[in-house]
């Protein structure tokens, strides 16, 4: 769950927001800026030899 204007209605329910945050290893919901580092890396020369990878920017949801 990433807090964006698209899901602002859902974000007004504190219980739902807390339950979604509890599902992640970081214990919080995502913010749009959480994706910036991965995007910059993938767009940079540092990722020039990276192919066919899955990079999970999900606060640990995928391993929880």
Domains of the chain (ranges; CATH) run 5-63 (1.10.8)
Sole residue written with tokens 């990079």: 55
Cα 59 to Cα 20: distance, rounded to the nearest angstrom: 11
CA angle 41, 36, 47 (to 5 degrees): 10
pLDDT attached to residue 64: 74
Residue 5 pLDDT exceeds 80: yes
Residue-wise pLDDT tens digits, 7-24: 999 999 999 999 999 999
Looking at residue 58, its pLDDT comes to 95
Question: Are the beta carbons of 32 and 8 closer than 8 angstroms?
Answer: no
Read off the pLDDT of each residue in 52-61 and give the average, rounded to a whole number: 94
pLDDT digit string, tens, across residues 21-42: 999 999 999 999 999 999 999 9
Q: Taking CA 43 as the corner, what is the angle to CA 39 and CA 46, rounded to the nearest 5 degrees?
A: 105
């Amino acid at each position: 769950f990433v807090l964006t204007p698209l899901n602002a209605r859902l974000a007004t329910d504190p219980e739902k927001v807390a339950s979604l945050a509890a599902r992640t290893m970081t214990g919080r919901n995502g913010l749009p800026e959480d994706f910036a580092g991965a995007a910059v890396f993938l767009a940079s020369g540092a990722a020039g030899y990276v192919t066919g990878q899955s990079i999970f920017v999900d606060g640990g949801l995928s391993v929880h």
